[in-house]
Amino acid sequence: MTDTGAIDAAVDKVLAANADKLADYKAGKEKLFGFFVGQVMKAMAGKGNPALVNEALKRKLS
């Protein structure tokens, strides 16, 4: 799926549901990026374009 609106919505939902891990990521645990990618892909039933998911996450986490 390449619908950036749907991907952004899934990213927002995952970040909201994992506020504790988001705080850890912002505190320097950058390995959690992979966790967030996995959660977004899971939320989208594996149909999200991985490159676009990565891009959306980088944008939201910066």
Q: What is the pLDDT of residues 14-25, one digit of tens each?
A: 999 999 999 999
Residue showing tokens 């939201």: 60
pTM of the predicted model as reported, rounded to 2 decimal places: 0.92
Round to whole Å and give the CA distance between 22 and 30.
10
Asked if residue 38 lies in contact with residue 14, where contact means CB atoms within 8 angstroms, the answer is no
Structural domains counted in the chain: 1
Look up the domain containing 42 and give its range: 4-61
Round to whole Å and give the CA distance between 9 and 20.
19
Q: Any idea what the CATH number is for the domain that residue 55 is in?
A: 1.10.10.410
Q: What is the pLDDT of residues 4-55, one digit of tens each?
A: 999 999 999 999 999 999 999 999 999 999 999 999 999 999 999 999 999 9
